[in-house]
Amino acid sequence: MKTIYAYLTFNGNCREAMIFYKKCLGGELSFQTIGESPLSETMPVKMKNCILHGVLTSKAFVLMGSDMVSESGLLKGNAVSLVLNCTGEKEIRALYKKLSQGGEQTYPLENTFWNALFGGLTDKYGNTWMLNYNRENNPSHHA
């Protein structure tokens, strides 16, 4: 196995959310709409502009998304979180601030017993994020 990617499901606002994540995290963003796919013939006209598959790619991550919701509807919960392992204190603080805009800071950034700066949030699209910066290379450094 090479890697695991995060795949997020939205209900009509995938494009907006993925553009928000690009502003926060950087990377290259691409979309395929339902109207641009073979599914176009079998889907309602109102769904033609919905996102079949979106991909945000950088050297550090791949984040995928879609507006294709199952028959049961979109069920947001806290069973899955997206984890960002950050490379520095400046980076983790900036990402935490950006990702939590319009959302909820559920666990403020703080120093932990495992020698990391750690925090959690739920973004404005209802997705849960955990941000972690391990300080092991510089244990004397404190926030």
- The pLDDT value recorded for residue 143 is 46
Pairing of strands 28-33, 81-85: unpaired
Cβ pair 48, 40 in contact under 8 A: yes
111-124 per-position pLDDT tens digit: 999 999 999 999 99
All CATH 3.30.720.110 domain ranges of the chain, comma separated, are 81-134
When pLDDT is cut at 50, 70 and 90, the band that residue 137 belongs to is low
Please state, in angstroms and rounded to a whole number, the distance separating the CA atoms of residues 60 and 99.
Answer: 17
Average pLDDT over residues 1-24: 95
| pTM of the full structure | 0.89
24-62 per-position pLDDT tens digit: 999 999 999 999 999 888 888 889 999 999 999 999 999
Name the architecture of domain 6-66.
Roll (3.10)
- The pLDDT value recorded for residue 25 is 98
Name the architecture of domain 81-134.
2-Layer Sandwich (3.30)
57-108 per-position pLDDT tens digit: 999 999 999 999 888 888 888 889 999 999 999 999 999 999 999 999 999 9
Tokens linked to 98: 């950006």
All CATH 3.10.180.10 domain ranges of the chain, comma separated, are 6-66
Q: DSSP assignment of 78-136, as one string? A: SS-EEEEE-SSHHHHHHHHHHHTTTSEEEEEEEE-TTSEEEEEEE-TTS-EEEEEEE-T
